[in-house]
Amino acid sequence: MMSGVSGISERSKEKGLQIKPWEDRDLDLLFQLNAPEMMEHLGGPESKEQILKRHKRYLEIGSKGCMFSIILFPEEEAVGSVGYWRTMWNDESVYEIGWSVLPSFQGKGIASDAVRAVIAKVTAERKYKYIHAFPSIHNDASNAICRKLDFNLTSECEFEYPPGSFMRCNSWRLELI
């Protein structure tokens, strides 16, 4: 069981949105999120083997964080993912957050609401002072979400993702405490 987040389901009444801890049945969603237009800012689509490994990491994240599927109601349709995980940044232990919403559901505030729900969970943990996001400098939508949710742009940086590939990112930081 994941400390502090196991079994949590949050619903945003105004949009009919729920985030649910990642489950084995979310593998199909991960394949949908691997489309070329979705992976444009993340080094391109991953192989089937890479997707299966990612799915396993999401299921086994344990006390390091939590991955969620984003469910839209009343259809109960999985439309994206959002999650957070412990990482080291500038010699400090922090949480990192990431999200992805299928193209046909983008531009509707779904990612912002899901990220806001995760931030509320992480803030309630009172474990780390900051949560960070590292969208590509070219990912206008993700950078806009960071601005909208009051993250502070701290710098541009070089970020290794996927392993062995480097990209220019904006380093965004939100104070949690």
Asked if 113 and 17 touch (Cβ cutoff 8 Å), the reply is: yes
Q: How far is CA 28 from CA 9, 24, 48, in A?
A: 20, 9, 11
pTM of the model: 0.85
Per-residue pLDDT tens digits for 107-138: 999 999 999 999 999 999 888 889 999 998 98
Edge-to-edge strand ranges of the sheet holding 152-160: 10-12, 17-21, 65-72, 77-89, 92-101, 130-133, 166-175, 152-160
Per-residue pLDDT tens digits for 13-37: 445 899 999 999 999 999 898 876 7
Secondary structure of residue 82 in the 3-state scheme: strand
Neighbours of 155 (CB within 10 A): 10
Average pLDDT, the chain: 85
CA distance 108 to 118: 18
Asked if 139 and 38 touch (Cβ cutoff 8 Å), the reply is: no
Asked if 71 and 80 touch (Cβ cutoff 8 Å), the reply is: no
